Every structure is written in C-alpha cells, then in structure tokens.
C-alpha cells in the first residue's frame, strides 16, 4: 500500500513533452539554442558567409580577427569564418548520416527484441555481441580505402556498427515496458503486436532514443573531424573542420590563434550535444524522484518556533502539535498539521489511517527520519523528557536503536544481501554494547531464539535472500531488540506478509512486549491488526489525529464520524454480496485539504459550522479525544 | 479463427487438471499450478483465495493465455483456449489487475485507452464504428463506472489509485465481455476505496450478467463478493464449496488456519480467533514436503504418517463442497460464535 512518503510525487501533474521540459531548463535552452544557431548558420553558409571559402589571398595570411575577417585568416589567406561555416555543412551532414543509420538499425531491432523476446531476441543479441567486438576504427579505415574517401559511406558504417550499444539500451527499456500491465491488457483486448509496439512501446522509449541519439551525434562529429584531420575525407582545398585543425597544427608555433576557432567549435559542438543528451535524460527521469533535491526550512532554523514546550505528564512518548511539511515542485505542502498523542510504557498504540493520512510520516518524524525534502515545521516530540525535534544528529544517533527502534514494511530492505544474517546481527549488537566477538555471537543466538527463529545456529549462517519474508521480519525484529529499546516503532510490519505469517509475527510482538514492557507504536491500515494487538488507537485523517482512545472504547462506539465510516467500509461489516457502506470520495491529498473540519465533505453529519473554524480535539473522557463537534449524534458511550 | 461464443451469450469457464511450470535455469522448473480443476459457471462469482506462492496468479495468467501450460485444458464454453494467443482469443474474457499505476499507459489519454479496443475490434470484425459512436460508448462506459465524461481528455497521472482502478474496469468492460477476472483488483486500495470498487463490481455484475473470477489473498474481501470459493495452497486446490460453507464451516486444516489467522475488526471475535489459534499449538516450521505428500503436512496440527506419504485427492466433504484432506472426517467440529455479529442481525451500521 503506497503511503504518504510517496504522495508528493503523485500530485496531478500535467504531462509535458520532452522538448518543452528540456527547454524549461537553462542548460537545455543554452545547448539547444547553440546547436540550432550553428546548424542554421552552416546550412545558410552560401548566403551568410562573408567570403568564398576557397578564395586565397596570400597577402593576408595567418591574420588574427579583424573587421574584415571576424575569425582571422589561414595560411593561404582564406577567411576562417567562411571555411568553418562551409566545413560545418559536411560535418553536420556526416553526423546526420551516422545518426540516421544508427537509429534505423537500433530502434526497430531493439524494440522488436525487447518486446518479442524469445529466439529472435537471442539471435539479435548474439549478433550485437559480435558487432561490438569488431574494431570500428580499422573497419572505417578499410571502408575509406575501398570507397575512395567517401565520408558518407564511412559514417553509415559507423552508425551501423555503433547501433549495437543503443539497441541494447532500447531493448532493455522495451523489456521493462512489456512487463507493464497495460501491455497485457492491450494484448487481451485483441491488439496486434505491431499496434502495441507503435502505440505503447515506442512512445515510452522516446526519452532513451533521444539521449542515445544525442550522445552518438557527439561521437559522430568527433569521428568525422578525426577522419578529416587525418586527410581521409574530401581532399583539399575543400573546407572541413578536421582539415582546418590539421592545417592549424602545421603553423601552431607561428600562428597559435588559428587552432582556436576550429578546435574550439568542434569542442563546443561535441560538448553541447553531450550536455543536451544529459538534460534529456534528467528531465525524462525526474518524474521518478520525489524530493528532487528540495529542502524545507525545519523548525530548528525557524525563529518563531524558538520557545521550548514543557513536557507535561509522564508519558514515555508525547507528540504535541507536530507539523511536518514537504517541499514539492509545486511549493511547500503541509502534510501533518498539529498531530498530538501520548504513549505510555507497556502500551501499544495503533496509528490507523488510509494513504495520505500521514501515519507513516508521523512515525518517521518521531525518529527524525523524514525524507530530505520534508521537515518538522512546528510542535514537539517529547521522548522520556527530551524534545527530539531539537536534538542534534549525534544525540539522535545515540537514541536510535538503543532506546527507540524501528521495524518497517520491507524487512528485506533492512538487510544487506551480501552478509550473513548472524554477522549483521552481531554488528548491531556490538555497536550497542562493548561485548567481545564471542559474547556478541551468544547474544545474537539468544535474540534469534527470542524471535522464535528455528535453528538459530544454522539460520545465522544464511544470507538474507535464503530466507522467507516472514523470517526476514523476525530477523528485523531481532535486530530492533538488540539494543533493548523502550519504544518500538513498527511501520506496517505485517502488511507485506501472508495472513498466516502475519498472525505469527503479531503473536511474537505481543509476547515480546509482555516480556520486555516496551511501548509499541504500530502503524497500520488494518482494523483487524488493531483489534489483535493494540491497547490504544489513534485514528488519523488528512494529516490530523481525529480520535484517540483505548481500543475497547473505539470498537465499542466510534467517537468520530470518520472512525465510524472507516470501520463500516470493511467488507466484514456488510452481509455477503450486498453494498458496503462506502465513504464517498477520497482522502484529499496534502495541499487540497478543506478548511474547518477536513472530513466534512465526506461526512454524513456535517453542517454549516463544520466549515467555519478548525475543529479542535475535544476531550470526551479521561482517555478519549475526538476532533468532532457533533459527537453527540454518534451516541458515544461516555 | 473465429470465437465460438459471441458477445451477449455467456458460457462456462472450465479449467481441468491444469499444470503450469515456470522454467528456472537450465532444464529446471518450478511448478506454480499443480493439477487444478475449477469452473466458473455463467453469471456466477467464484473466489480464488490463497497466499503468496499458492499459484492463484499463475492460474489467472494461464486462463488469460499469459503463462506456459504443461498439462491440462482450459475451455470457455466450447472454445479450447489452450493454444490461442493474442487476437485469436475470444475477447469475452477480460481482466482487471492489481496495480492501478502500471495498468494504464501514462502517455495516452483515458479516452484513447478506452477507444483503442473498439478500433481494434472493428478492424477485426470489419464492422467500422464512427468516431462519434466510439466516443459515445466511451462516455457511456465512464458513466457506468462512476466517472465524469471529462475523464476521457485527461492523462492517467491526474487520477488517484481508486479512479485508475475504475478506468481499468471500464477498459475491461468496453468490449462487453462475459467473464471478468479480477487479479487482486482491490488489494492495493485503501479500505474506503476498496469498498467503493467492490460495490461497483457487484453492481456491474448484476447489471451486465457477468461471470467473475475473483482472485485475492484477502479472506474477508473474497467472502463478501464470491458465491463459490476455491482455496489454493502451493498450486493445489485444498477446499472448494459455497462461500458460506467454506468460510463458516472450513473443513480443511489449511482453510481453518487461514480463517483463524485473518484478523477481524471485532475485539471479542479476534480474541477468540487468537486464542483458538494459540491453543492449536502449531508444529514448529519444518521443511516443506516434496512430491507425493500433502503440501500442508508440515504446518498441519492434524498431520499423520499417511499425510506425509500420500497426496490427498479432492473428494466430497462431509458437510458439502470438496476437500483434499485424508482426515477431513476426523477433524474436530468448527464453530466461531463471535464472528460477524452484524451479519446475524442483518443490517450494517
């Protein structure tokens, strides 16, 4: 189940074309502008060139730039600017020939191999392997010798030989897209393979094709100038960029300037193509990263949040008015607004809510483990009398693992696949204590026995990929217990597990809590898990706690319309094959939450005054609060 | 190849002795589905429930022509589907997948995605639809799944998971199929959205007379939507029967363990389930049996020597339905007084 940490990337985004996205960046504008200008000038050379590129004037040789010759003259007195423009035409044509040949070979073969797979794919890939092992330069020299210095033939050969690299990349992309479910759906709806390739596979490969083409164009320019530098292209006096570098090299000691225009332009062109390719890659990949390097100013750096809140009561963990914002490309978005709850030693508090409620962000904020683009913007997290939102990195590091531990939905992600389980646990044990190697190993076996892993000695020798998801979660719990924490934060610990395994893991957590007396903050979306394991529950909706109470009271009679509605949406609550009491609409994403009561748009009890002010948490009894001003309509037992 | 069944007349999906093997490495394979037989009668909702590795998704893929068949027969009405691929398959069987994100092409508008099957279909049948006719069917289908007509002009990225799942359902239904396969179609959704989609599926099933093959790991969901249940474990059918019977009176130790393990959102009932499960004192995990044994023997509290040597066949169960257990007649009686008090009283809150 996707949770709030990923929501900033899921905001409705208008799809933009690759070109417009590239031009929206400064790099993209500069490089694309430079290349367009260069190509236009070269193509228009006969019109705009100030002089005939072949016109010699031996009285004005090797001049530096002047009004008559903007870029000076060469050793035969020819105008360098004009020669560059005319020479550029052959370079550009050569580049286009190479690129066209490459694209013509690589795109159809790559897409077909990736989509069709099977024997066709194997044959194409073996051929690509063979082509890749061919020495390109040797072949090009041979081709030039056979075809009488025809750069065109050489560049087409280069394109064909160079296609294997691009083809592999396109094949990989096409293979990934083939796995997407919409391709399967299209097949089932009777579309032919050709239709699927043209409508669904190719458009998604566009970004990769543009990047590869751009990089290959840079390479082609380099090769073409190299060949003409060696005199393998059109014979003198025809203007070529490589030839001009060659001529400049002969007079390098007497006229060093001459190398600057030709060499500089080649370098700039190659650089521009390379940067353009990188820019395209960045913009096509950007949609997959949520933070994008953005940072929110945290409360620590905000002057208005300077006053230190006084811890009240004796709760082990006391979260007060916690607010968290994430900075997204569309501005700063408040994800948590004034979240408050208490958790005592020995209790299990279930933090319940749907995606977008902020339950996982709350759990992360308690540990100060927010993603880079998120920060606490207000409130406090008082753990054992200390405010964690103000703690330094060092203080937090000392707390994590020893006093507060975390287990997450993805236990495998917490384990390094290249080390044995025993050695990973041992490392954690030794980082918390100063036990010797043997003592740490004994402690590891003890921990593994505690989490009911069968045959600990043998299990310690296994690698993470050799165990099941349920076993991995037990190992993660063992790691969390290594520091004998006072507070265990369990973020959807059983969501990825099968029900039979989930029941085992929940039973284990219950037993461990009984034995150690630790407090557990259990983040979950499943009321059944709450009923099974929690003593208290805090229901979250749209970044706020809407109700907190002991489980008996909440299951007995919900004191917030959202709690009641969410419980009623379970299929357990309706007779078989009859409509479930579903809540209309969806949780509003951060940034689009209504004023006043955030649930009022979907609430059956809402009235005009629900929209007027922000609804405070109302205390209903000693242990129970609700963020609703109409609780009397819900018939809550006091 | 022309489909034996045309749109408008429903037929029964029959799967007989299906075996699906996936190759892993050189000359080795993993058996995902191991001799499964089931049928989805016309207009009926059949639930297929199982945990990871039970073969439930492989079975769906096999029915959809997306998995290699090693043995067995899949037929829809009189059409044998075994070797039919792509456009040769009858479009009477459609699917809604689990992941609402990868189910839609991000580069195409919703309107395009919904019109595409219509175009392909008219090209195949030679009966051409005008642009206006196509747009009209798209509008009608969007209305049917509860989305406004403007949806057609937008891209998938502008919709939430629940809305995308509605769009996937619209796409699956646009060619008026007779059988809809839901492969964990509500598993990725939040509780309140899941309820909306389940209601929509029930409504559409009644309105269009669809058959449903509903595949999930979630017992409470499948128990709500299905009329018949098939319980899979490691590629084999453990128990089948009416949903009422299988859920209320599970006759296979595995089904019982599933029911006991699924946490219910009722404190009393959950306490009872938990205590019942703990009292069972399940045997410690042992390596899973190979070959001719009951696949559940290593986790079964009732297993005897015979269970480890002889593979139980599916046979008629004492209380109705079918069960694959040697000891089905000897199991202690099952009762769960505290489950679902609301269902007993008839009306939900």
**How confident is the model over A502-520, as pLDDT tens digits?**
998 999 999 999 999 999 9
Q: What is the structure's pLDDT at A14?
A: 43
The reported pTM is 0.84
Query: Which positions ≥6 away from B309 have C-beta within 8 Å?
Result: B292, B293
Please check whether residue A118 touches B, CB under 8 A. Answer: no
Could you tell me the sign of the dihedral formed by the alpha carbons of B341, B347, B348, B349, in that order? negative
Read off the tokens for A50: 């100030």
Strand boundaries in B156-285, DSSP class E = 179-183, 211-216, 228-233, 236-242
Q: What is the mean pLDDT of chain B?
A: 87
Encoded tokens for A8: 């900033």
Structure tokens, A362: 């709350």
Question: Which tokens belong to A300?
Answer: 């620590």
Residue A206: count of CB within 10 angstroms of its CB: 15
Give yes or no for a contact between A588 and A581, defined as CB atoms under 8 angstroms apart. no
Query: Could you give the CA distance from residue A636 to residue A634 in angstroms, rounded to a whole number?
Result: 6
**pLDDT tier, A286 (very low <50, low <70, confident <90, very high otherwise):** low
- Domains of chain A and CATH, by start: 27-53+80-286 (1.10.3720.10)
- Distance from C-alpha of B16 to C-alpha of B222, rounded to nearest angstrom: 22
CB contact under 8 A, A577 and B225: yes
Question: Which residues, 6+ apart, have CB-to-CB distance to A16 below 8 Å?
Answer: A24
Query: CA end-to-end span of chain A, whole Å?
Result: 35
Distance from CA of B17 to the nearest CA of A (A): 24
Q: Which strands sit side by side in the sheet containing A487-491, from one edge to the other? A: A404-407, A487-491, A519-524, A348-352, A536-541, A544-550, A624-626, A618-621
**What mean pLDDT is predicted for residues A79-91?**
91
- Residue A401: predicted pLDDT: 84
d(Cα A384, Cα B30) in Å, to the nearest integer? Answer: 52
Confidence of residue A309 (pLDDT cuts 50, 70, 90): very low
B43 and chain A in contact, CB less than 8 A: no
Average pLDDT score, chain A = 87
> Do A495 and A322 meet the contact criterion of CB atoms below 8 Å apart?
no
Is residue A199 less than 8 Å (CB to CB) from chain B?
yes
**Tens digits of residue pLDDT in A168-205:** 999 999 999 998 999 989 988 888 889 899 999 998 88
Residues B279, B283: Cα–Cα separation, whole Å = 12
Q: In this model, does residue A307 exceed pLDDT 50?
A: no
pLDDT in tens, B13-45: 999 999 999 887 777 888 899 999 999 999 999
**pLDDT of B294 above 80:** yes
The helix/strand/coil state of A413 is helix
Q: Cα(B255)–Cα(B261) distance, rounded to whole angstroms?
A: 10
Question: How does DSSP classify residue B88?
Answer: G
Q: Is B181 helix (H, G, I), strand (E, B) or coil?
A: strand
- The sign of the CA dihedral B155, B157, B163, B166 is positive
- In this predicted structure, the answer to whether residue A123 has a pLDDT above a threshold of 90 is yes
Rounded CA-CA distance A210/B74 in Å is 44
Looking at the predicted structure, is the pLDDT value of residue B306 above 60?
Answer: yes
CA distance A133 to A27: 35
Contact A28, A276 (CB under 8 A): yes
User: Is B120 within 8 Å of A192 when comparing Cβ atoms?
Assistant: yes
CA dihedral for A80, A81, A87, A91, sign (positive or negative): positive
Helix (H, G, I), strand (E, B) or coil at A65: coil
What CA–CA distance (Å, rounded) separates B305 from A352? 45
Largest CA distance in chain A: 107
Give the DSSP per-residue string, A484-506.
--SEEEEESTTTTS-HHHHHHHH
- Kindly tell me if the per-residue pLDDT of B285 is higher than 80: no
Contact A531 B168 (CB under 8 A): no
**Is B237 in a helix, a strand, or coil?**
strand
The answer to whether B348 contacts A581, with C-beta atoms less than 8 Å apart, is yes
Measured CA to CA, the distance from residue A116 to residue A193 in angstroms comes to: 9
Q: Which of A184, A185, A568 sits opposite B349 (nearest CB)?
A: A568
Given A189, A200, A530, which is nearest B120 (Cβ)?
Answer: A189
Q: Compute the residue count for chain B.
A: 349
- What local confidence, expressed as pLDDT, does residue B9 receive? 65
Q: What is the pLDDT of residue A102?
A: 95
What's the confidence (pLDDT) of residue A252? 86
User: Are B224 and A580 within 8 A, CB to CB?
Assistant: yes
Q: Determine the pLDDT at residue A71.
A: 87
Higher pLDDT residue, B279 or B2? B279
Over residues A231-241, the mean pLDDT reads 85
A580 interaction partners in chain B (CB closer than 8 Å)? 195, 198-199, 224, 348
* Owner of token pair 């008090």: B341
Contact A500 B257 (CB under 8 A): yes
Task: Give the whole-number percent of chain A exceeding pLDDT 70.
Answer: 92
Q: What is the 3-state secondary structure (H, E, C) of A363-399?
A: HHHHCCCCCCCEEEEEEEEEECCEEHHHCCHHHHHHH
Helix (H, G, I), strand (E, B) or coil at A528: helix
- pLDDT score of B6 more than 60: no
CB contact under 8 A, B349 and A182: no
Is it the case that residue B317 has pLDDT exceeding 50?
Answer: yes
Quick check: A572 and B340 CB within 8 A?
A: yes
Could you report the per-residue pLDDT of A7-20, keeping only the tens digit for each?
333 333 444 577 88
Identify from A494, A499, A510, A567 which residue to disrupt to test chain B contact, counting B C-beta atoms within 10 A and taking the largest count: A499
Q: What is the pLDDT of residue A32?
A: 93
Q: CA-CA distance, B237 to B200, in Å (whole number)?
A: 29
């Amino acid at each position: 189940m996707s949770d709030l940490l990923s929501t900033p990337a899921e905001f409705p985004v208008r799809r933009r074309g690759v070109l417009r996205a590239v031009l929206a960046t400064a790099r993209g504008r500069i490089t694309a502008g430079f290349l367009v200008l260069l190509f236009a000038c070269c193509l228009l050379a006969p019109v705009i060139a100030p002089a005939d590129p072949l016109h010699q004037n031996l009285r004005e040789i090797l001049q530096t730039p002047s009004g008559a010759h903007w870029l000076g003259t060469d050793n035969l007195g020819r105008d360098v600017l004009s020669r560059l423009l005319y020479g550029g035409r052959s370079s550009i044509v050569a580049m286009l020939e190479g690129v066209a040949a490459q694209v013509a070979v690589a795109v159809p073969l790559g897409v077909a191999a990736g989509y069709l797979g099977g024997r066709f794919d194997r044959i194409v890939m073996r051929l690509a392997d063979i082509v890749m092992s061919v020495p390109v330069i040797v072949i090009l020299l041979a081709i030039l010798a056979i075809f009488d210095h025809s750069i065109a033939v050489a560049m087409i050969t280069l394109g064909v030989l160079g296609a294997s690299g691009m083809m592999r990349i396109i094949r990989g992309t096409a293979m990934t897209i083939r796995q997407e479910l919409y391709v399967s759906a299209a097949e089932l709806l009777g579309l032919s393979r050709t239709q699927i390739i043209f409508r669904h596979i190719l458009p998604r490969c566009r970004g990769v094709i543009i990047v590869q083409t751009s990089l290959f164009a840079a390479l082609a320019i380099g090769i073409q100038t190299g060949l003409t530098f060696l005199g393998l292209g059109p014979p003198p006096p025809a203007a070529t960029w490589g030839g001009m570098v060659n001529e400049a090299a002969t007079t390098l000691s007497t006229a060093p300037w001459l190398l600057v225009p030709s060499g500089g332009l080649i370098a700039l062109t190659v650089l521009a193509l390379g940067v353009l390719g990188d820019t395209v890659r960045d913009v096509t990949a950007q949609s997959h990263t949520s933070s994008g390097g953005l940072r929110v100013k945290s409360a620590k750096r905000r002057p208005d949040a300077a006053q230190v809140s006084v811890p009240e009561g004796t709760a082990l963990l006391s979260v007060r008015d916690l607010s968290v914002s994430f900075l997204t490309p569309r501005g700063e978005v408040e994800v948590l607004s004034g979240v408050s709850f208490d958790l005592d030693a020995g209790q299990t508090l279930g933090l319940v809510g749907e995606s977008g409620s902020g339950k996982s962000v709350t759990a992360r904020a308690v540990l100060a483990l927010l993603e880079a683009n998120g920060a606490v913007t207000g409130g406090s997290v008082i753990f054992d009398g200390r405010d964690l939102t103000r703690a330094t990195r060092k203080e937090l590091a000392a707390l994590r693992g020893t006093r507060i531990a975390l287990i997450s939905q993805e236990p495998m992600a917490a384990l390094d696949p290249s080390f044995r389980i025993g050695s990973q646990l041992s490392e954690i044990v030794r980082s918390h204590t100063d036990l010797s190697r043997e003592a740490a190993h004994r402690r590891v076996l003890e921990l593994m026995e505690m989490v009911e892993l069968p045959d600990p000695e043998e299990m310690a020798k296994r690698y993470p990929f050799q165990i099941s998801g349920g076993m991995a979660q037990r190992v993660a719990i063992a790691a969390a217990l290594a520091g004998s924490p006072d507070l265990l934060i369990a973020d959807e610990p059983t969501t990825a597990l099968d029900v039979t395994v989930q029941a085992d893991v929940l039973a284990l957590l219950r037993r461990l809590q009984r034995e150690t007396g630790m407090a557990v903050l259990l983040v979950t979306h499943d009321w059944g898990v709450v009923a099974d394991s929690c003593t208290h529950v805090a229901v979250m909706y749209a970044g706020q706690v809407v109700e907190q109470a002991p489980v008996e009271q909440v299951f007995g009679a919900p004191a917030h319309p959202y709690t009641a509605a969410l419980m009623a949406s379970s299929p357990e609550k309706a007779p078989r094959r009859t409509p479930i009491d579903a809540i209309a609409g969806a949780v509003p994403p951060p940034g689009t939450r209504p004023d006043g009561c955030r649930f009022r748009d979907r609430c059956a009890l809402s009235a005009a005054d629900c929209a007027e002010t922000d609804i405070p948490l109302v205390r209903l009894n000693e242990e129970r609060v609700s963020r609703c001003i109409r609780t009397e309509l819900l018939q809550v037992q006091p | 190849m022309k489909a034996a069944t045309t749109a408008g007349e429903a037929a029964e999906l029959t799967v007989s002795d299906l075996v699906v093997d996936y190759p892993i490495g050189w000359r080795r394979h993993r058996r995902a589905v191991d001799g499964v037989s089931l049928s989805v009668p016309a207009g009926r909702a059949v639930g297929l429930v199982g945990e990871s590795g039970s073969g439930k998704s492989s079975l769906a893929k096999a029915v959809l022509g997306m998995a290699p068949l090693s043995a067995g027969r899949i037929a829809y009405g009189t059409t044998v589907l075994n070797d039919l691929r792509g456009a040769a398959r009858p479009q009477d069987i459609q699917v809604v997948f689990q992941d609402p994100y990868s189910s839609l092409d991000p580069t195409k508008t919703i309107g395009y995605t919904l019109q595409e099957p219509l175009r392909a279909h008219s090209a195949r049948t030679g009966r051409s639809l005008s642009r206006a006719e196509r747009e009209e069917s798209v509008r009608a289908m969007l209305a049917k799944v509860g989305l406004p007509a403007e949806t057609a002009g937008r891209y998938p990225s502008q919709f939430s998971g629940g809305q995308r799942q509605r769009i996937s359902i619209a796409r699956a239904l646009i060619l008026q199929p007779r059988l809809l396969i839901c492969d964990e179609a509500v598993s990725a959704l939040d509780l309140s959205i899941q309820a909306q989609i389940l209601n929509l599926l029930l409504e559409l099933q009644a309105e269009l007379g669809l058959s449903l093959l509903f595949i999930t790991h979630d017992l409470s969901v499948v128990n709500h939507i299905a009329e018949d249940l098939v319980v899979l474990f490691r590629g084999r059918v453990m128990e089948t029967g009416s949903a009422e019977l299988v859920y209320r009176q599970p006759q296979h130790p595995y089904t019982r363990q599933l029911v006991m393990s699924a946490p219910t959102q009722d404190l009393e009932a959950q306490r009872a389930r938990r205590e019942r499960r703990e009292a069972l004192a399940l045997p410690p995990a042992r390596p899973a049996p190979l070959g001719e044994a009951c696949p559940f023997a290593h986790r079964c509290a009732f297993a005897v020597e015979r269970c480890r040597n002889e593979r139980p066949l599916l046979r008629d169960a004492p209380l109705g339905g079918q069960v694959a257990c040697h000891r089905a007649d000897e199991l202690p009686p099952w009762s769960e007084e505290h489950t679902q008090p609301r269902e007993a009283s008839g009306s939900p809150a």
